[in-house]
Structure 1
Amino acid sequence: METFPWDEATATGIGSHPGEDHAEALRLVLGELPGLPYLPELPARGVGADMIGRAAALLVELPVEVQPSGWRFTDRPGRDAKRARDHLRRDLDGLEEAAQGYEGPFKIQVCGPWTLAGAVELRHGDRTLADAGAVRDLAESFAEGLAAHVAQVRRRVPGITELVVQLDEPGLPGVLAGTVPTASGFGRLRAVEAPVATERLRSVLAALPEGSFPIVHCCAPEVPFGVLRGAGARGVSLDAALLRRRDEDGIGEAVEAGTAFFLGVVPGRDAPPADVGVVARPAVELWRRMGFAPAALARQVVLTPSCGLAGASPGYARAALARCREAARVLREDPGD
């Protein structure tokens, strides 16, 4: 039987938060999600705190800078790359202080290699995704930088029992379908074959230090379950509202193989509050419909917002995390009725 780092009836967040006060965001996460807290991201702080810049700052010997069109590889790191590293360092300083005495599982998240390759441009202006050799170099550099980042998080918070490492890959379905636009916007980049996508993702996940639990978040339709499982992801994070019946074969195979599911069940933007039973319903109904053992629901499924909370109000962000935590208890209390 697959074992998971978290206890039954656990909730967590996706990653991003509103506002610019990282210390307050950390207090919120540690207070509302004691079962699986995470390192929040605050993109409202500007360039370098965004998802792409934060991941690009982890690249080893592949310097980047910001051009009018976005992040681009360059000969030497630009001012914005330094700003991204400074944001991350301050966030880790804050985590070390706020998490003193914490013991248990913890989650971090970072943009994955395929989404990063579809966003960062080469020196001549095309997207990295257009050059297979450049994608390989990016994946190798990113794997090295991410492994170092994971090791640093564990040093900062020695009470972490297991580190859930979430790669954000909202762009992966487009990479596989060939719908990613060229840098000019007038064309589409050639689709990447599934075995190639699997191999590049596997090279990143395989480089994670021992004690890491890798998951992949994809808040887009057509989640490629086979690619993610083949790459070594032990969990898949997705928006429950985007699931379709045609996804259920992939979900069933993944659940039977022991894959964890992080199901987004609360909107990522301000919305009227829903009853905890309504919030938990997508997970409960999916489990029943597919005939999975009810006792496994609260162990194998973690409830989350549907995506990041950067576009929400601070009050709603707090309420959304609290509602996920409360709804997770429903999975344990009455999963089979």
Structure 2
Amino acid sequence: MSRLVTLTGDGTFRAPTAEEAQRLGLPEDPHLAALMRLRALLGDDLEEQIGTRLYLPSALGLDETDHLLPASLALLAETTGDLVSYGWRLGPGSGRAWLHARELRERMLDAARIALLGYEGPLMVTALGPATLAGATFLQSGERALGDPGAVRDLPMLLAEGLVDHLTALRERVPGAAQRVLLREDAVAAIHEGRISTPSGRSRYPAVPAPEIGALWRSLFVALDDYGLDARSVTLGVGADLRLLRAAREAGARRMAIAPRRLPPLSTPVGRALWEGIAEAADDGCAFEIVVDPRPGGRLGPEVEMMLETWRRLGHAEADAAGVTVIAHTGVSHGLHTGQVDPSAQPAVSTLLDEAALEAMLRIAPTWAERLAS
């Protein structure tokens, strides 16, 4: 039987503290401890109709290099850089922080060999997408990569090559896993709408048209398909813009992540057009995954209700949403989406998922499944 609901996380997981590890009987190594806890939470389907998608955490928040941006940069093939006063810089030469970010990635791969021994379910790897990386990183000149068309064009291929190497190494360590990829384009809306400030702070970079962003995504999809990972195994965050949704579809995306909090209401012309675009894509076989904050006060209930109510107003039954995947997320990307938060800024550890957030999602999942089954 196909799953009514599948549960996963956004690629982050706050490492258990030494006290928590001792209480839970976990090893002292934080990478091994985190993976063991994630396997305990998401390593098995809850029941016949509720599935889970285990993921390899890209960020544990152990230090300033242990977040999603440096973890994604550490994937870039044949690329060097470092952490400087104004953010993460690409080239020349690899500094201590850059090397440490790569070391953390290797530690997680080594931990996977032990913590995921014998595992044969889905296993997801997470990285920031090329558009967000362009807005979040700097060049040697101090300019953002976004301001250099050549650097922007190179990012998808560098990321794709690095992802393929990473997935190959992961397959060697966990050979039975069904690999998946989550590409988080947290800042794509800000880049598309020209809300990223220049280093001086006195102006903003020009808006990047959706077709140009779609071309970046297309390069990634082609490279991952050559590796053997088709588009249905890759989830792409597309923001809340009809033009980006269409660009993603034209790029070959078949699975996209959307956040209910960001979607305009159906009562507005923009909202009506976007929702109809989502429904059209779904009818064409595209799968949508919804990004929600399951923590207390995270507005999970109202957001899911809004999604289902809109779905009904578009002429669909709730049961038509069966098979949806829910991605737990703390909401940190919402500020990036609106341009209120600089994508190059260092996130707080509190923005990472923790065990309590995942447990909250697991508790409410049977209610979702019951509604979708009716």
Do both proteins adopt the same fold according to a TM-score greater than 0.5, normalized to the shorter chain? yes
Match of 2:313 in 1: 289
Q: Displacement, 1:135?
A: 0.8
TM-score, normalised on structure 1? 0.86
SS across alignment from 1:45? coil
Deviation string 1:150-172 (CA, Å, 9 cap, x unpaired) is 222222211113x2211111111
Offset at 1:121?
0.9
What is the aligned counterpart of 1:237 among 242, 254, 257?
257
Is the contact made by 2:109 and 2:173 (CA closer than 8 Å) also made in structure 1? yes
* 3-state DSSP of counterpart to 1:303: strand
- Pairing 1:14–2:10 present: yes
Structure 1 residue 271 corresponds to structure 2 residue 267: no
Partner of 2:214: 198
What's the offset of the Cα at 1:87? 0.3
Contact 1:280 1:327 in 2 (8 A): no
Residue deviations 1:124-174, cap 9 Å, x none?
11011111111112222222111111222222211113x221111111111
Matched, 1:120 2:145: no
Question: 1:298 and 2:322 equivalent?
Answer: yes
The correspondence for 1:48, drawn from 51, 59, 65, is 65
Displacement after TM superposition at 1:308 (Å) = 6.4
Partners of 2:252 and 2:165 lie apart in 1 by 19
Partner Cα separation in structure 2 for residue 210 and residue 336 of structure 1: 33
* CA distance, structure 1, for counterparts of residue 298 and residue 253 of structure 2: 32
Gaps of 5+ in 2: 17-29, 45-51, 333-347
Structure 1 residue aligned with 2:123 = 106
Q: Are 1:156 and 2:177 matched, yes or no?
A: no
For 2:281, give the aligned amino acid.
A
Aligned to 1:250: 277
Select the residue among 214, 220, 228 that pairs with 2:248: 228
Residues 308/95 of structure 1: CA separation in 2 closer, same or farther (3 Å cut): farther
Q: Is the Cα–Cα contact under 8 Å of residues 58 and 71 in structure 2 kept in the other structure?
A: no
Q: What are the Cα deviations for residues 223-275 of structure 1, in whole angstroms up to 9, with x where unaligned? A: 731222222222222322222221312211221122222212334xx52599x
Matched AA of 1:284? L
What amino acid is aligned across from residue 206 of structure 1 in structure 2?
A: V
Contact residue 297 and residue 332 of structure 1 kept, 8 A: no
1:229 and 1:257 map into 2 onto residues whose CA distance is: 10
Deviation at 1:305, TM superposition (A): 2.1
Question: How big is each residue's C-alpha offset from its partner over 1:59-117, in whole Å with a ceiling of 9 and x where there is no partner?
Answer: 12221111100111222111111101100000111122111111121211101111111
Q: Identify the residue that residue 371 of structure 2 maps to in structure 1.
A: 334
Q: 2:53 maps to which residue?
A: 36
In structure 2, give the amino acid aligned to 1:258: G
Out of 205, 208, 213, the residue aligned to residue 189 of structure 1 is 205
> In 1, are the aligned partners of 2:331 and 2:351 still within 8 Å (CA)?
no
How many angstroms does 1:187 deviate by? 1.0
CA distance in 2, matches of 1:334, 1:43: 34
Instruction: In structure 1, give the amino acid aligned to 2:369.
Output: R
Q: Distance in 2 between matches of 1:242 and 1:197?
A: 19
Query: For structure 1, which runs of at least 5 residues remain unmatched after alignment?
Result: 1-5
Alpha-carbon distance in structure 1 between the residues aligned to 2:142 and 2:186: 22
Residues 53/225 of structure 1: CA separation in 2 closer, same or farther (3 Å cut): same
Rounded Cα–Cα distance in structure 2 between residues aligned with 1:13 and 1:153: 19
Question: How far apart are the structure 1 equivalents of 2:79 and 2:4?
Answer: 41
The answer as to whether partners of 1:298 and 1:331 remain within 8 angstroms in 2 is no
CA–CA distance in structure 2, aligned partners of residues 298 and 12 of structure 1: 16
Does the 8 A contact of 1:264 with 1:305 survive in 2?
yes
The match for 2:357 is 320
1:210 aligns with 2:225: no
Which 10-residue stretch deviates more, 102-111 or 256-265? 256-265
Worse-superposed segment, 97-106 or 237-246: 237-246
Matched letter for residue 260 of structure 2: A
Shift of the alpha carbon at 1:313?
A: 9.3
Greater alpha carbon shift after TM alignment, 53-62 vs 80-89: 53-62
Q: How many residue pairs were aligned?
A: 325
Provide the rounded CA distance (Å) in 1 between the counterparts of 2:124 and 2:263.
Answer: 24
> CA, structure 1 residues 308+128, in 2 after alignment: closer, same or farther (shift >3 Å)?
same
Question: Match of 1:23, as an amino acid?
Answer: L
Instruction: State how far apart, in whole Å, the 1-side matches of 2:365 and 2:320 are.
Output: 13
**SS of residue matched to 1:226:** helix
